[in-house]
């Protein structure tokens, strides 16, 4: 019975701590989670391009896959080719299963530094959207112009036919 009371007191204590720590105006819970995440620059990651020390970037997350090299069903060569660099594209091209994606968590070491991130995904969306609307314009414009030309030529033909 007494054991049940202790955790309650501990929770209250931690709450008081939290309130004191939060005097800076920043939520302590957010502060703690952010400080646990390590950010690595591309330069730092590129140094881990060895078979004994292999890091990969996939979707802006950094993975130390050294121990996974031999286990990879796709072979270690493909992983070593990407060692120390961004393997997002090749990882996605293969169409890895959900199991493969879940495996990534085991090798997670941190995040790619904000400075080295590229928002390629956004660009692709814009390109796709603009090319879609562009192609619809072309699809309509060419037959419309062709129809107009044929119509005008037909009128000229009729006029000439009537006058003669
Ligand atoms: C750490 C990241 C990676 C993990 C955890 C991983 C995991 C896996 C797993 C579990 C499979 C079996 C099929 C599946 O479940 O989808 C697989 C297959 C494969 N992986 Fe990866 N993979 C990773 C990175 C890569 C990269 C970067 C490449 C390419 C450069 C690649 C190329 C392949 C290929 C070609 C196969 C097919 C093998 C076959 O079907 O014969 N993988 N991977």
Model confidence at 132: pLDDT above 50? yes
Pair 72, 90: CB distance under 8 Å: no
What distance in angstroms lies between residue 127's CA and the mean position of ligand 1's atoms? 28
Give the number of the atom of ligand 1 that is nearest the alpha carbon of residue 87: 27
Quick: pLDDT tens for 135-154. Answer: 666 788 888 999 999 999 99
65 lines ligand 1 (CB under 6 A): yes
Phi/psi region, residue 41 (left: phi>0; alpha: psi -120 to 50; beta: rest), is beta
Confidence of residue 161 (pLDDT cuts 50, 70, 90): confident
* CA dist., res. 146 & res. 162, Å (int): 24
Give the number of the atom of ligand 1 that is nearest the alpha carbon of residue 103: 5
What distance in angstroms lies between residue 86's CA and the mean position of ligand 1's atoms? 15
- pLDDT score at 110: 97
Average pLDDT of the chain is 79
The mean-pLDDT minimum among 35-44, 45-54, 71-80, 121-130 falls in: 121-130
Q: What are phi and psi of 87, to 5 degrees?
A: -105, 15
- pLDDT score at 140: 80
83 lines ligand 1 (CB under 6 A): no
Model confidence at 131: pLDDT above 60? no
Model confidence at 164: pLDDT above 80? no
The closest residue, in CA terms, to atom 10 on ligand 1 is 100
- Mean pLDDT over 22-50 rounds to 72
């Amino acid at each position: 019975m007494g054991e049940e009371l202790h955790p309650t007191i501990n929770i209250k204590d931690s709450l008081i701590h939290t309130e004191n720590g939060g005097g800076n105006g920043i939520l302590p819970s957010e502060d703690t989670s952010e400080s646990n995440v390590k950010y690595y620059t591309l330069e730092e990651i590129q140094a881990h391009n060895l078979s004994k020390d292999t890091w990969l970037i996939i979707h802006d997350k950094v993975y130390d896959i050294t121990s996974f090299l031999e286990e990879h069903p796709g072979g270690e060569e493909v992983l070593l080719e990407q060692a120390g660099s961004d393997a997002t594209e090749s990882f996605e091209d293969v169409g890895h299963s959900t199991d493969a994606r879940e495996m990534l968590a085991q090798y997670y070491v941190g995040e790619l530094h904000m400075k080295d991130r590229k928002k390629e995904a956004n660009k692709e969306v814009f390109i796709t959207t603009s090319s879609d609307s562009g192609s619809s314009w072309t699809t309509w414009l060419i037959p419309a112009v062709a129809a107009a030309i044929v119509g005008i030529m037909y009128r000229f033909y009729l006029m000439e036919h009537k006058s003669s």
